[in-house]
Amino acid sequence: MFTYVELSILAIITKAHGLIGTISLKELLTRLIVVFVIASLLELFVVGPVAQKIAFSLPYDKSKKVFVILSLAFFMVSGMVLCMSLYGLGSVYFSDSLLGESLVESYFTLVFKNFIFAFPLQLIIVGPLVRYLFVKFVKDKTTIAEALS
């Protein structure tokens, strides 16, 4: 679900730290798979539950779907960006590609770039697409299964 954060981290790391041309396609795909697994587990067991708890504890009208969507998107993206930027920074640090920047400065730069990329993408493209596909394929099958019962 949050592969855009993973892709943006990999793109920023490879561009900003001169890894283009020095990393093989096989290594890049291996890193992408590892990042995908880590991000999925993090989203399922840490960020998702915390984001839902925070989003539903806020005082707003939860009967309005747009408020629920916006608050969930904000907290999910914020949590994933904070965590996966830390992962990206650790990856860069351990591959000795930090290029003299401080860890704190690099972390906040990554968070800023990833949030600017991830939040609009979630609101404009990914969120609506997933909701459309869910309604089209999952909700219809649930309705048919209930009718057959």
Q: How far is residue 113's CA from residue 121's CA, in Å, rounded to a whole number?
A: 13
Q: Over pLDDT 90: what percentage of the chain?
A: 46
**98, burial (CB in 10 Å: exposed 0-12, middle 13-18, buried 19+):** middle
The stretch 26-51 carries a mean pLDDT of: 90
User: What's the pLDDT at 63?
Assistant: 92
Please answer whether residues 14 and 23 qualify as being in contact, where contact means their C-beta atoms are separated by less than 8 angstroms: yes
The stretch 94-118 carries a mean pLDDT of: 85
User: pLDDT tens, 54-102?
Assistant: 999 999 999 999 999 999 999 999 999 999 999 888 887 887 777 777 8
User: What's the pLDDT at 5?
Assistant: 54
Give the angle 18-93-107 at the CA atoms, nearest 5°: 90
Does the CA dihedral 9-7-113-23 come out positive or negative? positive
Query: How would residue 1 be classed by pLDDT, with cut points 50, 70 and 90?
Result: very low
